[in-house]
């Protein structure tokens, strides 16, 4: 059995144990060695870990892997050298590459100043810290692009995946295949309901409640919630839950009639001027229909921009006539215009990258990791005042 006190990854401990057993003659030439499943059961690790150990044994020429049959002890002349007959230094280099310089694929809808740049920065820095590499592919929120990216990166031979999924009612089939095959991957900003898959995200429930309570403290009671269609998108669902929880804790009745839940122009596939104009007109009509609204809670920065434009066109001053709060907001010319919940993107990205590496090494990790969102007070919120427009 491997020495549990060693700092080596489990797959390398298993590799060394099997290598020593082969050298000592426990397994004869041509004899089958334990399978991935058998090794997993014996050493109480995942099949990913035992598979990696067998891959290292094959790289060093100790075994020959035969698809559909198993792994068998190789001829003595091949043991300790690479299967391709290269120099003796190459197996060490290959093991170093497998243990250190790993290739991690990142698939995300898109990124920009408001959200995403920090994620990529955190992941890229983590890749440097761990002598690994990050490969980025954008899906632009299109499920077919996401599926193609997963397939392509797997064919490229990545050691793990980080996925910020496209918004939609269902996860694509390729993600579900990753779960079934126990391939090391982590979701960012969303989680899989009812399935064992790791995720790193903001604590959206607590964050939304924090933002809503800020509005309550300013005297607002008629707060409209602005969001794209939830469509089983867990980040949005959690923000809705936090918004409702804050109302319940304050004893304020939630008025869903003043919500707008069909803002679509901010979706990656619809972010064009024509669609933005339609949503601005929709918000204007809504504010005119419900003049008692004194504050808007936008689930994202781009929706806050639409709301600000709608207020401007109606002659409403922010925050004197209407307060606006959102998730995420970049600084503009050194000024923070929006009160918002700032997500810790760089930490989220760093943790996502490191979790994939640890999953690849066979570690057991919690399915969900939640990070706090910080309330940043900007110039878009103020004391509640009754509107006449």
Could you report the per-residue pLDDT of 28-62, keeping only the tens digit for each? 888 999 998 898 888 888 777 788 888 888 888 89
What is the domain range of residue 184? Answer: 103-202+345-371
Given this model, what pLDDT does residue 252 score?
A: 96
Pairwise CA distance, residues 189 & 200, whole Å: 6
On whether residue 388 sits in a domain, the answer given is: no
H/E element holding 155?
helix 143-156
Domain endpoint, select from 99, 119, 147 = 99
Pairwise CA distance, residues 48 & 364, whole Å: 12
Pairwise CA distance, residues 309 & 327, whole Å: 17
* Contacts (Cβ under 8 Å, ≥6 apart) of 360: 48, 52, 102, 159, 160, 184
Same domain for 164 and 64: no
Given this model, what pLDDT does residue 66 score?
A: 79
pTM of the model: 0.73
Same domain for 65 and 15: yes
Same domain for 154 and 129: yes
Tell me: pLDDT of 369 over 90: yes
On whether residue 91 sits in a domain, the answer given is: yes
On whether residue 176 sits in a domain, the answer given is: yes
pLDDT, one tens digit per residue, over 64-92 is 887 677 888 988 765 555 443 333 334 44
Same domain for 230 and 197: no
Given this model, what pLDDT does residue 146 score?
A: 93
Same domain for 305 and 217: yes
Tell me: pLDDT of 296 over 80: yes
pLDDT, one tens digit per residue, over 92-143 is 444 444 444 789 999 998 888 778 899 999 999 999 999 899 999 999 888 8
For residues 107 and 152, the answer to whether their CB atoms sit within 8 Å is no
Pairwise CA distance, residues 133 & 259, whole Å: 43
Instruction: Compute φ and ψ for 346, nearest 5 degrees.
Output: -65, -40
Given this model, what pLDDT does residue 196 score?
A: 76
Pairwise CA distance, residues 18 & 160, whole Å: 25
Same domain for 125 and 255: no
Q: Beta strand 70-73 with 63-66: parallel, antiparallel or unpaired?
A: antiparallel
Given this model, what pLDDT does residue 80 score?
A: 57
Same domain for 144 and 63: no
Given this model, what pLDDT does residue 113 score?
A: 76
CA atoms within 13 A on the CB side of 239: 28
Same domain for 41 and 22: yes
- CATH number of the domain residue 59 falls in: 1.10.10.10
Given this model, what pLDDT does residue 79 score?
A: 59
9: left (phi over 0), alpha (psi -120 to 50) or beta: beta
On whether residue 178 sits in a domain, the answer given is: yes
On whether residue 382 sits in a domain, the answer given is: no
What size, in residues, is the chain?
A: 389
Domain endpoint, select from 307, 325, 343 = 343
- CATH number of the domain residue 115 falls in: 3.40.50.2300
Can you tell me whether residue 270 is helix, strand or coil? Answer: coil
Structure tokens, 367: 């399915």
Cα dist from 117 to 85, 172, 332, 344, whole Å? 44, 24, 15, 11
Same domain for 78 and 135: no
Number of domains in the chain: 3
On whether residue 174 sits in a domain, the answer given is: yes
On whether residue 385 sits in a domain, the answer given is: no
Same domain for 87 and 128: no
Pairwise CA distance, residues 281 & 274, whole Å: 11
Same domain for 298 and 286: yes
Distance of CA 186 to the CA centre of its chain: 6
On whether residue 27 sits in a domain, the answer given is: yes
211: left (phi over 0), alpha (psi -120 to 50) or beta: alpha
Cα dist from 205 to 167, 229, 250, whole Å? 18, 17, 16
pLDDT, one tens digit per residue, over 313-356 is 999 999 999 999 999 998 776 667 899 999 999 999 999 999 99
Same domain for 75 and 118: no
Given this model, what pLDDT does residue 335 score?
A: 67
């Amino acid at each position: 059995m491997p020495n549990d006190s060693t700092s080596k990854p489990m797959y390398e401990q298993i590799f060394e144990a099997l290598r020593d057993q082969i050298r000592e003659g426990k397994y004869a030439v041509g004899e089958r060695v334990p399978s991935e499943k058998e090794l997993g059961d014996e050493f109480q690790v995942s099949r990913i870990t035992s598979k990696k150990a067998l891959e290292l044994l094959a790289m060093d020429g100790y075994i020959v892997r035969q698809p559909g049959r198993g792994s068998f002890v190789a001829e003595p002349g091949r043991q300790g050298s690479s299967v391709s007959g290269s120099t003796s230094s190459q197996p060490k280099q290959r093991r170093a590459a497998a243990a250190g310089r790993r290739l991690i694929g990142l698939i995300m809808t898109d990124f920009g100043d408001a959200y995403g740049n920090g994620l990529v920065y955190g992941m890229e820095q983590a890749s440097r810290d761990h002598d690994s590499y990050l490969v980025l592919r954008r899906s632009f929120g299109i499920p077919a692009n996401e599926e193609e990216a997963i397939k392509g990166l797997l064919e490229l031979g990545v050691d793990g995946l980080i996925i910020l999924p496209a918004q939609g009612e269902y996860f694509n089939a390729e993600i579900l295949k990753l779960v079934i095959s126990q391939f090391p991957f982590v979701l960012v900003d969303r989680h899989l309901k009812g399935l064992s898959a790791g995720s790193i995200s903001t604590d959206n429930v607590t964050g939304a409640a924090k933002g809503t309570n800020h509005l309550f403290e300013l005297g607002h009671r008629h707060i409209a919630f602005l969001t794209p269609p939830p469509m089983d998108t867990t980040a949005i669902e959690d923000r809705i839950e936090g918004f409702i929880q804050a109302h319940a804790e304050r004893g304020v009745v939630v008025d869903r009639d003043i919500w707008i839940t069909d803002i679509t122009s901010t979706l990656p596939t619809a972010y064009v001027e024509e669609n933005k104009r339609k949503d601005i007109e929709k918000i204007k009509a809504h504010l005119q229909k419900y003049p008692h609204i004194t504050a808007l809670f936008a689930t994202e920065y781009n929706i806050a921009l639409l709301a600000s434009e709608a207020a401007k066109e109606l002659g409403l001053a922010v925050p004197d006539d209407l307060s606006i709060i959102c998730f995420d907001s970049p600084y503009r010319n050194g000024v923070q215009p929006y009160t918002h919940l700032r997500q810790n993107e760089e930490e989220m990205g760093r943790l996502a990258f490191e979790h994939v590496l640890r999953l690849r090494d066979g570690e057991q990790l919690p399915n969900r990791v939640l990070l706090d969102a910080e309330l940043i007070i900007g110039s878009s919120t103020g004391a509640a005042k009754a509107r006449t427009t």
